[in-house]
Amino acid sequence: MKKIVLTFVAVVVFGGMAFSQVSLGGRFYSGLTSGIEASLLYGMGGNNRIEADFGASFGVMTKTYSTHLAPGVSYSSTGYPSYYVVTATGSYQWTFNIIKGFGWFVGPAAQLGLGSNNDGDFYMRLAAGAQGGVEYKFDFPLQVSLDVRPMLDFLHLSDSRSLFDLGVAAGVRYCF
C-alpha cells in the first residue's frame, strides 16, 4: 500500500511539473545595474508563462562631494558610492517559436526592491517595464536565454539614483 501511495504522489507531482513546463535557474545581468537572480519560469499553457526572479543587484551613483581645506579654499570631486538592492521581479510573457528549440518572448514586468548605499541612505524600489528576448531549449533539459529588461522606477526619490534602469541578462535554467 505504501508503494502505491508513493507512486501515485510521484506521478501527480512530476506529471504536474511536466504539464506546467517549469524551469528553474539563474539570470546574470549587467547594464545600468549589475547582479544575479534566481529565476523560475512557469508555463501556463499555450504560449503564456510567468517568470518570477529574486535577486540582488549593485551599481554606482554619481554624487558631488565638497571639502573645505581652509578658509576660502575648497575642493570638489565627483564620487561614485556603490549601492545594493534586493529585488523581486515578476513578468508575464508571451512566447513565439522561430524554429525547433529556438524562440523569442516579450511581456510586461513589475519589480519591488529594498536598497541602501555606502552613505547609509535606504530606499524602496517600485518599478514597471517590459522584458523581451530570445531563448534556446536543448534536446536535454537545459534552456539558455538572452534578454533585455527596461524598467521605470516610480519611487525615484533623489538625483543620485536613475529613474530609468536597463539591463541585458543571460539566463540558464533546468527544465523539469
pLDDT for 99-157, tens place per residue?
Answer: 999 999 999 999 999 888 777 778 788 999 999 999 999 999 999 999 999 999 888 65
Instruction: Specify the pLDDT at position 149.
Output: 93
Tally of structural domains, the chain: 1
Residue 36 belongs to a domain: yes
Residue 3 belongs to a domain: no
Q: For residue 36, what is its C-alpha cell?
A: 544575479
Residue 11 belongs to a domain: no
Residue 62 belongs to a domain: yes
Question: Phi and psi dihedrals of 100, rounded to 5?
Answer: -55, 120
Say whether 12 sits in a helix, a strand or coil: helix
Structural domain span for residue 96: 19-66+76-175
Instruction: Specify the pLDDT at position 141.
Output: 94
Instruction: Specify the pLDDT at position 79.
Output: 54
pLDDT band at 13 (very low <50, low <70, confident <90, very high): very low
Rounded to an integer, what is the distance from CA 89 to the centroid of its chain?
6
Residue 34 belongs to a domain: yes
